[in-house]
Structure 1
Amino acid sequence: MTELATIIEQERDLRALALGRLSSRDLVFKWATRFFALVVLLLLGGVTIALVHGALPALSTFGLDFVFTETWNPVTEKFGALAPIYGTLVTSILAMLIGIPVSLGIAIFLTELCPMTLRRPIGIAIELLAGIPSIIYGIWGLFFLAPFLQANVQPFLIAVFADVPLLNGLFKGPPYGIGIFTAAIVLAIMVLPFITSVTRDVFNTVPPMLKESAYGIGCTTWEVVWNIVLPYTRTGVIGGVMLGLGRALGETMAVTFVIGNAHRISQSILAPGTTISATIANEFTEAVGDLYTSSLVALGFILFIITFLVLAAARLMLYRLENKGKR
């Protein structure tokens, strides 16, 4: 009995030692992950503080007029962010209008219609688009896309919509080739692999039984996609779209090459314009004077706020959709 008691006591000690080690490792893991999360928050806070500090001279000088003024004149030190804000929002919206239908169409084709032998090659080709440097997109847009649009597409659009109310203002003026419309097309191509990859992956999570049941009662492929696939994956699809929108809002080099870099607001989307990121990239190295530099930093702060608000709105939308789906 004494030996048995000793053995039991030893086993207890070994278990306690093992549990102590596991508990220590779990505690270390817990604090390590908490530390990394705090580092992210600290970095975000540091970036925010740096932007606010750098933008204060411009914001204190111009106030809210900085946001609502179109003038950008380094010689007289009169700066307004309205034209870059307008260009950023318009190019991003146009890129989403072009890129979302194309991306969803590719994802639907890959998951529902494409032969199995072609799914992997096409999927890899789409994903490779995400690895192309943005400056390559800019060079391609400047030397190939812009001349093609100037010679073929833009004159056609100007002629077609010349007598159409409202639209004639959007498609008017000489065909420059470069401009907001060209930048939007380049951005649409750049966000396409991100949206396509995410939507394809979430489409593949739809249980085959749901789709087979729909086909079994006579639904067409379109009806299955519209009534089964998209409702089941709407949260993931919106997440992919917002990922692409975030990329479009902050893109710099590709847009700088093809947008024309003109600090003015034009009714026509064929006219040259500028974006916040393009303005910073073009002028930061040439900024002379504290007010000029501060104005560029203020543009970066505004872009930070726009991106934050867009992503926050997307997160709120996803949260509401998730709660609606649970009810």
Structure 2
Amino acid sequence: MRLEQLQAFLSVAETGNFQQAARNCGVTQSTISRQIQGLEADLGVQLFHRSTQAKLTIGGERFLPHARKICQEWQASLQEISELLAGKQPELCVAAIPSLCAHSLPPVLQQFCSDFPNVQLRVTSLGSDRALKVLKDGLVDLALVMQNRFLTSGAEMVVDPLFEEPIEVLMAANHPLAQFEQIPWKALASYPQVVFKEGYGMQRLVQEMFLRQGLSLQAALELNTLDAFRGVVRQGKLIALLPHSALLYVKEDPLLVMRSLWNSTAEDSPLVRQVVLVTTRDRLQVPPIQHFRELVLKLIPPPMDYPLSMVNL
């Protein structure tokens, strides 16, 4: 069964005449006849009484509403795809890591809402690994996350590097480690830490670095918001490894300090994270998604001038 057969059937049913139906469809009468005969063969029933006027048989009458519904659905799908490619989608969904939601993303969101006022923008704060999963599941259109090559590989994935930034140590101003300007890894391993929950790229990054150093991570508490990290660390006992952009306001808090990590040798890789924008090639055919990507690449600067040549974990 083909769409043109259904359209021919509906045209004959509406006009009651094969010749008129052929003119309406822009084909010859013999073509209309072949299409109806082919449809009847597929269905195994005669659809019209062929006399001076083409009248529906009982089979044709039963089939008529279904044929109309199929053709209406087809037209609706064409209309929806046309609107999608024209940028007339009802919403655009974005998943982003918390530090970007708090600092870098707001200018992008404001500009996008101004440029596409009829598109409902939905932003969800998620850990990197979780955000990439919902992107692959089709629940969001773009993800702004820490790079995870295990989750961003594949020909359909589009990955735009945004910036790299160092990981630093957050602690209370009166913590014993505050005496260091750069904290050795062995000293860091002696204290309990607050870490991100599973599904956050930072947890994976920190765990991998401790393993690389041959040390054990003392994870005393798992959290998933930056405010909670600062509140807990402010109490004085726990420390946390966080990206630089999550620590931008620490200097304004007299109860908190941040310290850099010390590499024991020149060969040690600095602990940094790479932040990327991820989407899929098919989504970039949709104008609002493409425009959001362009805004991100234009408006999100690195929190500091760290070279992209730094080694990632």
When the two structures are superposed, what TM-score results if normalisation uses the length of structure 2?
0.24
Which is higher, the Rg of structure 1 or of structure 2? 2
Select the structure that is richer in helix: 1
When the two structures are superposed, what TM-score results if normalisation uses the length of structure 1?
0.24
Select the structure that is richer in strand: 2
